[in-house]
Amino acid sequence: MNLDYQTITLPDGAIVDAIDGSLITPADPTGVIDLRALDMGEAYDWTQYGPAKHGDILLTVDGVAILYLAWPTMINGTSEVFHRLADGSTWADVISELKTEGRKEQAAELARGLELAQLPELESKAVDFTHLDR
């Protein structure tokens, strides 16, 4: 798949990313990225070369995911494209394993993202660009 990836400067000076003409929001200071303008395949591709980082929350058409190391992994919802935890695994297990491996900073970033994903107002944190001319 060859997507047209662009960085666009809006009239207010904000810099955003676009894929094939669909605007996607940058991570706000809390680490939430709105990818709902993309189908799941495009969203997955974007996570691999966009500015998303470990622990960022990804709003998608299939639900809410988190970028776990390099893998977009579903938290709420189901997806045929994004990863999911193995049956019987929990996020607590993943965080514990990162700590055991000496990756305490990555464990903390993941825990912060998972905590953020549980906030009821999560979707209101996503910037809405639907009013802009494309």
Nearest to 60 by CA among 26, 30, 21, 33: 33
Question: Angle formed by the axes of helices 104-117 and 91-100, to 10°?
Answer: 160
pTM equals 0.70
Residue 19: pLDDT above 50?
A: yes
Per-residue pLDDT of 67-126, as tens digits, reads 999 999 999 888 999 999 999 999 999 999 999 999 998 888 888 888 877 766 555 544
Alpha helices by DSSP H, the chain:
40-49, 91-100, 104-117
Nearest to 112 by CA among 26, 28, 31: 31
